[in-house]
Amino acid sequence: EVQLVESGGGLVQPGGSLRLSCAASGFTFSSYSMNWVRQAPGKGLEWVSYISSSSFTISYTDSVKGRFTISRDNAKKSLDLQMNSLRDEDTAVYYCARVFFSGAPLYFDYWGQGILVTVSS
Amino acid sequence: SYVLTQPPSLSVAPGKTAIIACGGNNIGGKSVHWYQQRPGQAPVLVIYSDTDRPSGIPERFSGSNSGNTATLTISRVEAGDEADYYCQVWNSRSDPSCVFGPGTQVTVL
């Protein structure tokens, strides 16, 4: 059974940092591209970042470029998101999501349960 | 950047058909995927690659995509279909950028 379990969320002050992790199990982690998707309270889904299976290709949504860093450790089957210079508008539930890839990333077939990040003074 | 549009809300009576539109410039040239999200839960894939249904998703869910509009159709709507629905595409192969629609809240009367 595929499982994605996020950890590392919590309350942080504006300008602070937080590191999210996603532990994967039930599939060959090193064969899949992974993503972070977030959802602000009462709002829609927003894609945050993508990392290919080998970490060769990485991309971010414009609002987090230069502040967030996605990484992965295929040996440990883990995905991370280092979030620096956090802003109020980064408050959201953050989901780790596996993406099915066929020549290009396509759809998110498995999602974690989500972890809440609250940026507030 | 690529923008997707969806109606904010849709109300439908049980047993009737709900049709949710997702608009985008030449979206027919892209592969569109749909997610259902119930309150407090993670999204669930209900349609992928325009028309395909993952295992476990009822046949009542179907999709189409042409021109500037993709649609998710829910036939014989049930109370359990009440949820938010999001369309999603990828905007670039070389520098992957994913776009979600703003979501449609489906209410079963």
Which run of H or of E encompasses B63? strand B61-66
Q: What angle do CA B33, B35, B37 make, to 5 degrees?
A: 170
- The per-residue pLDDT for B94 is 67
* Residue A109 contacts B where some CB pair is shorter than 8 Å: yes
Secondary structure percentages of chain A, helix, strand, coil, to 5 = 5, 55, 35
Assess contact for A84 and A55: CB atoms under 8 A: no
Neighbours of B83 (CB within 10 A): 22
- The per-residue pLDDT for B82 is 97
Contacts of A112 in chain B (CB under 8 A): 42
- The per-residue pLDDT for A12 is 97
Contacts of A111 in chain B (CB under 8 A): 42-44
- The per-residue pLDDT for B93 is 64
Q: Please indicate whether residue B70 or residue B1 has the higher confidence score (pLDDT).
A: B70
pLDDT digits (tens, 9 = 90+) for B21-65: 999 999 999 999 999 999 999 999 999 999 999 999 999 999 999
Which residue numbers in chain A have pLDDT < 70?
none
Distance from CA of B53 to the nearest CA of A (A): 11
- The per-residue pLDDT for A10 is 97
pLDDT digits (tens, 9 = 90+) for B58-95: 999 999 999 999 999 999 999 999 999 999 999 876 67
What is the residue whose two structure tokens read 């499982």?
A3
| The two three-digit tokens of residue A61, written as one number | 């949504």
CA distance A6 to A82: 13
